[in-house]
Amino acid sequence: MAERISVDLCVVGAGAGGLAVAGAGAQLGLSTVLVEDRDMGDGELDGGDVASKALIAAARAAVQHRQSEAFGVRYDPPRIDFARVRAHVKAAVEAVAPDDSQTRYEGLGVRIIRARACFTGRDRLMAGDIEIVARRFCIAAGAKPALLPIAGLERIAYRTPHDIPELDALPSHLLVVGGGAEGCELGQAFRRLGARVTILEMKRLLDDEDPELVEVVRRQLRADGVELREGVVVTQLEPAGAGIRATLAQGADRSTIEGSHLLLAAGRVPASDDLGLDAAGVACDGRAIRIDERCRTSNRRIYALGEIAGGPPSTAWTGHQAMAIVKSMMFRLPARTKAQLLPRVVFSDPELAQVGMNEAQARAAGHDRIVVRRFPFAETDRAQTDRATAGFVKLVATPAGKILGAGIVGTEGGELIQSWGLALAAGLSLRAFTDMITATPTLSEASKRVAGGFYAERMLAARMRRWVRWLARWP
């Protein structure tokens, strides 16, 4: 007979968000069960933030010699030992794995059941041969790579962003289907490690991001030797010797391209299949679970977060949602998520980061009278000393100085965007940046100076100049 257990909280999925909710529940004294049929922390470790970013770090090291001669330092051309690159990636994953381990969460008091979950009612589910009845549930089952309807795909061995860092040998020619964040990051990394790389994108590179910022990334990808094919559709795949042949359509034109390996980086879809959501009374929009700003589903007992609820593939976002769930579910506080505060970072080189609305989004939201200002890194002393002059800060604000959003493309863009995220979260105006005293020389000066440019235009206006001349008459 099946075992039957009753608990206060059942969490489905052991990604970052699910672990955060389960850990908080157990530490706050709730009887807590976590159900997961994959590795703990799977999305963030093997094929997620840790593995891919470790690969990107190795790729960055591979090209450091390019600028060294300008500093008066000469290196021999790099020799890539891909086996050691792979060992570095594995070591990075193993170093952080204990934070998400089953042992750690069992130590916090979470019972972990390694099985696939399927709801059988509004307050219960089956996990293997165990029936779990819970007062509250949190679904954090994540997403899986989207498989495009390409003829012949089933005959081809392909990789996804989840498992491509596990390659044991460097591809001779990597075909990347998808020019979003993952496609650009991994494509650039493999190119810098010595592979030939072609990115195939049906729209334009990083289509969801500000085109001005994207252009800086596009130029660097081409400078690295990445072949970009934008506006093409992959219509067919077939084996070609030991590799792959792809047929491409661009309007009425047809062409083919061959590669040794294929990376499908065309996004992700919620992993809601076979969860029994109908039995649980959980409504969906397509495959994504429908939630409100408190992460509540149509069943008041059940919350959901992350990609399974239509969210972006962002550990930061799931962490934010997890905190809202803890406050709402466990403390009964009216906590709400704030999507406008989520920073978005493409970890290419240069990095592209955005928080709040970009220019197009601000105009689409009805902010017709917006002010857009830019400040290039090349005009900061630190960028010149470090020869990191590519890129700029782009500000979007109202005429009154309210920050609507900011975008940064350049070295350490992901770090520099944090101050803009703080300003948005705290409801600060641009005056906060002009009042701030920045250490010099630093790249952060660019943020202060783009805000200063907003006020400088007003200070130098004819009316203000007349006012200053009038004041100068008085002793």
- pLDDT per position as a tens digit, 20-51: 999 999 999 999 999 999 877 755 444 457 89
pLDDT score recorded for residue 47: 44
pLDDT band at 458 (very low <50, low <70, confident <90, very high): low
Give me the CATH code for the 350-462 domain, please.
3.30.390.30
Q: If we measure between CA atoms, which residue out of 395, 390, 413 comes closest to residue 358?
A: 395
pLDDT score recorded for residue 69: 85
pLDDT score recorded for residue 42: 59
- CA torsion, points 276, 282, 283, 287, in degrees to nearest 10? -40
Task: List the alpha helices (DSSP H) in 3-100.
Answer: 16-27, 49-62, 65-68, 82-96
pLDDT score recorded for residue 39: 79
pLDDT score recorded for residue 193: 97
pLDDT score recorded for residue 2: 74
pLDDT score recorded for residue 68: 87
Q: What percent of the chain has pLDDT over 90?
A: 83
pLDDT score recorded for residue 368: 80
CA distance 18 to 232: 38
Cis link prior to 441 (omega < 30° from 0)?
Answer: yes
CATH 3.50.50.60 domain range(s) in the chain = 3-144+269-339, 153-267
- CA dihedral sign, ordered 20, 24, 27, 29: negative
Q: What percent of the chain has pLDDT over 70?
A: 95
Average the pLDDT over 347-367 and give the result. 95
Question: Cα–chain-centroid distance for residue 90?
Answer: 21
Q: Return mean pLDDT, the chain.
A: 93
Average the pLDDT over 345-349 and give the result. 96
CA distance 448 to 428: 14
Average the pLDDT over 299-313 and give the result. 96
pLDDT score recorded for residue 100: 87
DSSP assignment of 304-326: E-GGGGT--S-HHHHHHHHHHHI
Q: Are 221 and 187 in contact (CB under 8 A)?
A: yes
CA distance 78 to 334: 55
pLDDT tops 60 at residue 430: yes
Helix (H) or strand (E) holding 287: none
CATH topology for 3-144+269-339 is FAD/NAD(P)-binding domain (3.50.50)
**Tens digits of per-residue pLDDT, 214-246?**
999 999 999 999 999 999 999 999 999 999 999
pLDDT band at 1 (very low <50, low <70, confident <90, very high): low
Q: Which two tokens stand for residue 280?
A: 């649980």
pLDDT score recorded for residue 455: 83
Q: Which residue has the tokens 């235009």?
A: 457
Contacts of 279 (CB under 8 A, 6+ apart): 119, 120, 121, 122
Least confident of 114-118, 361-365, 422-426, 457-461: 457-461
pLDDT tops 50 at residue 466: yes
Q: Are 226 and 199 in contact (CB under 8 A)?
A: yes
pLDDT tops 80 at residue 307: yes
Reported as half-sphere exposure (CB side, CA atoms, 13 A), residue 199 has a value of 30
| 420-454 exposure pattern, b = at least 16 Cβ within 10 A, e = fewer | bbebbeeebbbebbbeeebeeebbbbbbbbbbbbb
Q: If we measure between CA atoms, which residue out of 206, 257, 253 comes closest to residue 227?
A: 257
pTM here?
0.92
CA distance 290 to 275: 14
Reported as half-sphere exposure (CB side, CA atoms, 13 A), residue 33 has a value of 23
Q: Which two tokens stand for residue 394?
A: 């782009």
pLDDT tops 80 at residue 333: yes
Which CATH number does the domain 153-267 belong to among 1.10.10.10, 3.50.50.60, 3.40.47.10, 3.40.50.1100? 3.50.50.60
pLDDT band at 454 (very low <50, low <70, confident <90, very high): confident
Q: Which two tokens stand for residue 159?
A: 């990789």
CA distance 8 to 177: 44
pLDDT band at 465 (very low <50, low <70, confident <90, very high): low
What are the C-alpha distances in Å from 59 to residues 68, 78, 194, 218?
Answer: 16, 11, 9, 17
Instruction: Tell me phi and psi for residue 379, to 5 degrees.
Output: -95, 10
